[in-house]
Amino acid sequence: MTFLEQLKHATHASRSVLCVGLDPEPAKFPVHLQSQPDAIYAFCAQIVDATHDLVCAFKPQIAYFAAHRAEAQLEQLIAHIRRVAPAVPVILDAKRGDIGSTAEQYAIEAFERYGADAVTLSPFMGFDSIEPYVKRHGKGAFLLCRTSNPGGDDWQTRRLADVDGQPRLFEHLAHLAQGPWNLNGQLGLVVGATYPDEIARVRDIAPALPLLIPGVGAQGGDAATTLKAGLRKQGDQISGPIIVNSSRAILYASQRPTFAEDARQAALQAHRALSI
């Protein structure tokens, strides 16, 4: 099954567009977990157990594992997701951006080593930095497009003088991802929830693409506004899917021994706001 098919099924089964981001920070774990040698795995696995019926995807962020020499725990975690929630796709948030044989190595890392179904990528080096990923049929690749941080304005909203109509950079990127770059229908875009007008703009330009939308919850984006901007239905016409990520508000709902149940309560709240 392709990533897009998995996503469709998991969205239907969970009746929501909620994605739980797995960004483990040991200092925020309950005290009883902190001393365990595999605390990162143990924490994330319990979050997965508590939330997997509520989500359309899980999104582990690789930096949080790499900083702690916990690549093996990330492998274990993804294997755990496969066991308890085989229908839920895994998006590896890695924002890789390199070319040629180096990009090929990163594709091996994401899709073979970790067995992810999709990956996030930085498009700064252009199309040939994307190509090695879209050669992997059925795998998804989400390109950073309009990110939710203030520095997103440094480049992403700049107007390009030498492109027809002087689109903003993120608009031109959405155009390329919807059309000429999307050789095998695998591309999606990352668009921050903090800019709902720009989600709507990206959706205008790229009606069919899946959008991965971080920034709801702790970062201040609003769920209802996000849904309205990103997901459209007109008669039989339905836009590409959206995936709305929440990490900290769910993972760190509490630091009590009952953190997993508390995370479920937070996820239920997000699930209600992101029901479809």
**Residues annotated as part of the active site:** 95
From residue 107 to residue 146, what is the string marking binding to its own copies with x (rule CB under 8 A)? -xx--xx--------xxxxxxxxx-------------x--
Q: Write out the binding residues for its own copies, residues 46-65 only, by CB under 8 A.
A: 61, 63-64
CA dihedral 160, 161, 165, 169 (to 10 degrees): 0
Measured from the CB of residue 155, what is the shortest distance to its own copies in angstroms?
6
Which of 34, 36, 105, 184 binds its own copies (CB under 8 A)? It is 105
Q: Least Å distance between CB 106 and its own copies?
A: 5
Please report, as a single letter, which amino acid is at residue 29: F
Part of the chain binding its own copies (CB under 8 A), chosen from 4-12, 52-60, 96-104, 254-262 = 96-104
CB of 29 to its own copies, least distance (A): 15
At 232, list the tokens. Answer: 């459209």
Stretch that binds its own copies, among 1-9, 32-40, 148-156, 249-257 (CB under 8 A): 148-156
Pick the closer one to its own copies by CB: 239 or 247: 247
Q: Would you give the DSSP letter of residue 28?
A: G
User: Which neighbouring-strand residues pair with 144?
Assistant: 190
| DSSP track, 67-102 | TTT-HHHHHHHHHHHHHH-TTS-BEEEEEE---HHH
Give the shortest CB-10-to-its own copies separation in angstroms.
Answer: 24
Could you say whether residue 100 binds its own copies (CB under 8 A)? yes
**Using CA atoms, how far apart are residues 11 and 47, in angstroms rounded to an integer?**
19
| Sign for the pseudo-dihedral over CA of 252, 82, 77, 186 | negative
Return the closest-CA partner of residue 32 out of 267, 251, 258, 253: 258
217 binds its own copies (CB under 8 A): no
**According to CB under 8 A, which one of 163, 183, 208, 238 is a site residue for its own copies?**
163
Q: Which residues on adjacent β-strands are paired with residue 234?
A: 237
The answer to whether the CB of 204 falls within 8 A of the CB of 239 is: no
End-to-end, the C-alpha distance of the chain in Å comes to: 23
Judged by CB under 8 A, the residue of 2, 71, 175, 265 near its own copies is 71
Could you give the C-alpha distances from 88 to 27, 65, 170, 202, in angstroms and in order?
28, 21, 29, 26
Q: Does 38 interact with its own copies (rule: CB under 8 A)?
A: no
Of 106, 133, 195, 259, which one interacts with its own copies (CB under 8 A)? 106
Min CB(177)–its own copies separation in Å? 11
Rounded Cα distance, 36 and 32, in Å: 8
Q: Please give the residue ranges that form the binding site for its own copies (CB under 8 A).
A: 23, 25, 61, 63-64, 66-67, 69, 71, 95-103, 105-106, 108-109, 112-113, 122-130, 144, 147, 149-156, 158-163, 166, 169, 176
